[in-house]
Amino acid sequence: GHKYFLLPDDPAMLARSEAVEKLCFSVMNSMVYLINKICFAPNNTSPEGSDFDPEYARSRFLAKFEQFAGKVEELVAGPFIMGDTLPIHADYLLYACLADIKNFAPQAIREGSKLSDFMHKFWSYRSPIRRWFKSNDSKEGEYIRPSVPHIMELLPED
């Protein structure tokens, strides 16, 4: 991680990035739970006879997302987690998490919010850290985000 500037050297910043990781893991678990249990549960029959209700799942998720957004915005020094520096591993994780959330509930991330600004800055920032995603190191280990789609498919080419 240090070879590609993925991990911060400062213990306080490392703790901040770990806090962002935990929040991302928690909110993604909530989203997956709601999708699986509310939308696709075979024993969850609504009075209307429809088992699939994505709007109900989205509305339940948005309440949880508001809590997540507030906590994460406190940790993003701006524009990235460590401030106006190179993005670190947790910035990539946060971007991937927010991209999934935006696909599930587009209204969750309001234009002009700190998270929206983070996504715009991350999308356009030409960081040397992207080398890691193109290396074999990125294909080893376990990550919160599945390998497909690979994050490089979500980012423009250098």
Nearest alpha carbon to residue 101 among 71, 145, 142: 145
Q: Which has more pLDDT, 144 or 105?
A: 105
C-alpha span between 36 and 43 (Å, rounded): 12
Decide if pLDDT at 2 tops 80: no
Q: Where are the alpha helices (DSSP H) in the chain?
A: 11-34, 54-75, 89-104, 114-124, 130-134, 151-154
CA distance 52 to 75: 35
Tell me the percentage of the chain whose pLDDT exceeds 90: 35
Rounded to an integer, the average pLDDT of 74-94 is: 89
- Residue found under tokens 């998270």: 115
What's the mean pLDDT in 94-102?
91
| Cα-Cα end-to-end distance for the chain | 21
Question: What is the per-residue pLDDT for 58?
Answer: 87
pTM metric for this prediction: 0.74
- For residues 45 and 75, the answer to whether their CB atoms sit within 8 Å is no
Identity of the highest mean pLDDT range in 85-89, 101-105, 138-142, 145-149 = 101-105
Q: What is the pLDDT of residue 57?
A: 81
